[in-house]
Amino acid sequence: MSKEVEPGATGRSGKRGNEVFWTHPTKPGIIIARAISAKIAKLDEARKPHAVAFGSICHLSQRMVKAIRLGFPKNAVGQKGANLFTKINMKNAVAEGIQTDPNTPVSMNKKAPEEFHARIHYDRLLVAQGSLEEPEVTLTIDKETRIATFTQESSIIEGAINEKNDRVYAVIYDTVAESCIIRELRQRGENGVTTILLPERYAPDNLAIYSFATTYRGDVASNSHCLASPTENEE
């Protein structure tokens, strides 16, 4: 329902909060305000899996925010890391919505997470994307000592988009604790080993681990490479 309001000035139109404003067509100085409907569109069986998958990728973007800021530098049109991360991983079908009980008909009156859960393919997840060459990094994990060892080899490719001083990073994400570590390793032109002692709450079997590189200034990144992923990854 619309209502008449008398603001301090005339000619106002637009949206503020949950109301839309426009000038009364026949009463000078009067502004009409109408509340926007708070009704949420119901999702059908075809759209609910996508909604759950999208929600899971958005949630990951919050949990991995520090890594994503490095791995997805703002692009030429001003898109920021979280948006770029969500866009590419949804495009690559990294997450899918799975019906929790396939024998129960989907109800239009229930929210998507009540009937579907997300399965994330961490081996396909990109935590960085760009035109830079990927670094050469390998990983071993000693489950008894809880030490992750990253071995890096110098990987300068003549004529490719890479420099000796590119920064190389490792990302360790516990898919159950939903906690993320981002650690700078070495520069691209260096050989060496970096060890990271895993926190007690990080279970080695639950880890998704990645490596990627950025330019020294951080304005361009490489695609990330998955070094390890959990076998089961449903939310």
23: β partners: 31
User: What is the Cα–Cα distance from 113 to 48, expressed in whole angstroms?
Assistant: 8
Residue 34, classed as helix, strand or coil, is strand
Sign of CA dihedral 154, 157, 162, 163: positive
Q: How confident is the model at residue 48 (pLDDT cuts 50, 70, 90)?
A: confident
Residue 7: predicted pLDDT? 47
* 3-state DSSP percent of the chain in helix, strand and coil, to 5: 15, 35, 50
- For residues 75-103, give the mean pLDDT: 85
Bridge partners for 179 per DSSP:
174
Region class of 141: left (phi > 0), else alpha (psi between -120 and 50), else beta: beta
Cα separation values, 135 from 154, 158, 195, 222, Å: 8, 14, 17, 8
Q: Supply the pLDDT for residue 153.
A: 95
Residue 28 confidence (pLDDT) above 70: no
Instruction: For residue 95, give the nearest of 50, 61, 48 by alpha carbon.
Output: 50
Contact by Cβ (8 Å): 201, 176 = no
Q: What is the pLDDT of residues 171-185, one digit of tens each?
A: 999 999 999 999 999
Cα separations in angstroms, 73 against 23, 64, 111, 130: 43, 14, 34, 9
Residue 178 exposed, middle or buried by CB count within 10 Å (0-12, 13-18, 19+): middle
Taking the model in full, what pTM does it have? 0.78
**Residue range 156-163: mean pLDDT, rounded:** 93
Question: To which residue do tokens 């100085």 refer?
Answer: 29
3-state secondary structure of 2: strand
Quick one: pLDDT at residue 1? 44
**Residues 188 and 221 sit within 8 Å (Cβ to Cβ):** no
3-state secondary structure of 192: strand
Per-residue confidence (pLDDT) for residue 10, from 0 to 100: 46
Compute the distance between CA of residue 136 and CA of residue 151 in angstroms, rounded to an integer.
8
Task: Look at the block and give the residue holding tokens 């791995």.
Answer: 71
Which structure tokens are listed for 3?
A: 């209502």
- Tell whether the model's pLDDT for residue 9 goes beyond 80: no
Confidence band, pLDDT 50/70/90 cuts, at residue 117 = confident
Range in 9-13, 69-73, 75-79, 223-227 the model is least confident about: 9-13
First-to-last C-alpha distance (Å) of the chain:
41
pLDDT for res 12: 54
